[in-house]
Chain A
Amino acid sequence: MTPPHIFLEGWSRALLLLHALVALALAGAATHLAVVSLRLWRSALQAPARARLARLARIYAQVIGATYAAAFGLGLLMYPHYRYVVRALYLDRYDVWAANLFDIKENLAALGLPLAIAVWAVGRKLDPERDRALAGWLAFLAVSIWLLVGAATISGLLVTDVRGV
């Protein structure tokens, strides 16, 4: 019996490494945006401080837009290999909890995708004086993305520790 040929299976290790590196950058940007947006929303700041934080928020919004799309896209490319070689042949047989945790992580990441699009679309043009009413909305999106990315990162590390490729 010839082993089936899976899409991009020869690139699985390189893709996993790239996915992890991009996810690390995403986790950093998500953490920074959560802190910055909460300060913009909750703190009584002078105009220069607000302008400085808003400039950081615009930068992190763009980084999140780019890294979320990249990490998600790399995950989609790796998924066929994962589904057969990692899950169907190994995790479903020996470590079912890891297969379940991985699918929870993938779906949590998918739920964060529209939030990242919204942050990128609105946050990259944020004006601290003009858009004061949006500070609470941006903080909600930023904290939600941070929670989802944090859960996905920790779950991804745990599953990769069991079997990555």
Chain B
Amino acid sequence: MSGPGAATRAAVSASALCAGYLATYFVSTALPTPLFWYAPLGRHVVWSVHPAELACDFYGRVALALAVGAACGALAWALTRGASPARLARALRLLGAWTAALLVFTAALYVYRLAGRRGSPMPLPPDYQAR
């Protein structure tokens, strides 16, 4: 980064990364999306919308959101090549607003879905001792 335009262009690209990441996180939660799930008991990875065994979607969802976010950031960097400072400032305001809205909606979606979730305990091993 050397001039004011370069710094704003980097911020536009970073905002596009944020918006792409958050949009992917929101959509992949709201709609049935196949993801990589890690099954801690079998220690293997499953490609599924929702596997039947105990598994974690967290890794797959974060990896997918990071990949889409990085692609959005790279696209914004390419599209803003040679853009005027005024155009960059407009793009930064727009992407900042999208980032803020997606952040609020995705956080609210998770609070709504998880706050009242019922527990699904697994059978206790014979030697289990609750501390």
- Residues of A in contact with B (beta carbons under 8 Å apart): 1, 3-7, 76, 79-81, 83-84, 88-94, 96, 99-100, 103-104, 106-108, 110-111, 113-115, 117-118, 121-122, 125-127, 130-131, 133-134, 137, 140, 144, 163
Residue B36 is within 8 A (CB to CB) of chain A in the complex: no
Bound together, the chains give a CA A134 to CA B128 distance in angstroms of 55
Which listed residue, B4, B58, B106, B121, touches A131 by the CB 8 Å rule? B4
Bound together, the chains give a CA A140 to CA B103 distance in angstroms of 12
Which listed residue, B92, B118, B128, touches A137 by the CB 8 Å rule? B92
By size class, the interface of chain B is 35 or more
Chosen A-B contacts, 6 in total, with CB atoms closer than 8 Å, are A84-B41, A84-B54, A88-B121, A89-B125, A96-B117, A110-B65
Bound together, the chains give a CA A134 to CA B4 distance in angstroms of 9
Pick the most buried of B89, B111, B114: most chain A CB atoms within 10 A of its CB.
Answer: B114
Q: Is the Cβ of A88 less than 8 Å from the Cβ of B122?
A: yes
Q: Is the Cβ of A111 less than 8 Å from the Cβ of B22?
A: yes
